[in-house]
Each structure stands twice: as C-alpha cells, then as structure tokens.
Amino acid sequence: MARACCGSGARDWFAALTGSLMALLIAGTFAAVADSASEEAIAIEEAWARPMPTGRELGAGYVTLRNAGDIADRLVAASTPRAERTELHETTVIDDVMRMRPLDGGIEIEPGGSIEMAPGGLHIMFLGVAEPFSAGERIELRLEFEQAGERTVVLEVRARPNGDSHHGNTHGDADHGHAHGEEGDHAH
C-alpha cells in the first residue's frame, strides 16, 4: 500500500516534469520555426567585392537581397572583421555627374521586392581596411536586418561583376531623393 501511495506520488512528479519539458520543447520548436521563417524571408545572392588597389584602405562590396516575406524589411547595418568601419552608400550618376552619399536610414526591401546592389548604385563601403582585399579572397560580411536579424554571407573578391547587366540597381524606383537638375558645369 505504502508502495502504491509513494509510487503514485512519484508518477505525479514524473508526469508534471514530462509535461513541462514537452511544453518547453513545443514552445522552443515554435520559436525556432518562427525565427527561421523571418530569416528565410530574406535571401542573399550575388555577394561580391572589388579587389582594392595596394595602399587603399577602402573599397566596395555588393549583394542582392530578396524579400520573400509578407512584411518590409530593412538592411540597417553591415560589418566585417576586415574593416574598421562599414557604411551603406548610394552612388548616383545624374547628368554625367557621379555623386556618393551615405544612406543613414538603411535600405528598405519591400515584401516580394529585391535590392540589387551594383557599381553606380547601392553599395556597402568598407573603410579602414588594414589588408586590402585581393582577387580570389573570400570576405565574411555580417548584415543586420530590422526583421530578419543578423545574417552572414561571404563576399567573393573579383575585378568585375558576373554577367553583363552590372550597372545600376533596381530598388523599385525607390525614393532616395536624388537631387535632380542641380547646377553644374560639365560635359555630356
């Protein structure tokens, strides 16, 4: 009898423990699924960077970002162990004048949309690079998104981009407020 009594007490404890563990497991699984869902929403492709001329401590890298999710996301920061500072920039060529400006607010990727960084458009600028990138190297780059969190990609270092359509970028004709028609004495 005493056995039955004690045995049932142990069973209760065991059941409670198992139940909690299972609940934890289930919750954890859901959390993991939710996490990976928002992570998977952003695909990172075509990651490459330019070799840097000797003695240059700066350069540019390019990635293509696709947002398969239902909500807009925003690339807010980038970093690499190879550079002291990493900034998001946009180059524009308007009326044959090249201008480069930092994008302090990051780069938005609309749901279902994509951002294609390319020479003459959006790029990631590396500053304070002690060892200039050289062709064939692979550079680790961490990207920080508002929704998808932190992601790591590898940039291939090469002199020219793959393929032919390497100029400009398609960011849904976004509104980065280009200063059109500014004064300037320049050739066409």
Partner 1 sequence: MSLRKLRIFLWVSVAFVAGLSLALVISDDVRERILHTGGGEGVAAIGGPFELVDHRGETVTHEDFLGQPAVYFFGFTHCPDICPTTLFEITSWIQELGEEVDDLRFAFVTVDPERDGPEVVAQYLQAFDERIVGLTGTPEQVSAMAENWRVYVRKVPLEDGDGGDYTVDHTASVYLMDSDGRFFGTIAFGEADDNALAKLRRLAQEG
The interface mask with partner 1, positions 131-170, x = CB under 8 A, is ----------------------------xx---x--xx--
By CB under 8 A, the count of residues binding partner 1 is 37
58 makes contact with partner 1 (CB under 8 A): yes
Q: What are phi and psi of 172, to 5 degrees?
A: 55, 35
Decide: helix, strand or coil at residue 180.
Answer: coil
Residue for token digits 């700066």? 58
Per DSSP, 28 falls in state: H
CB of 5 or CB of 159, closer to partner 1: 159
Type of residue found at 184: G
Decide: helix, strand or coil at residue 185.
Answer: coil
Choose which of 7, 43, 99, 154 interacts with partner 1 (CB under 8 A).
99
Type of residue found at 137: E
Contact positions vs partner 1 (CB under 8 A): 50-56, 58-60, 87, 89, 91, 93, 96-102, 104, 119-120, 123, 125-126, 159-160, 164, 167-168, 184-188
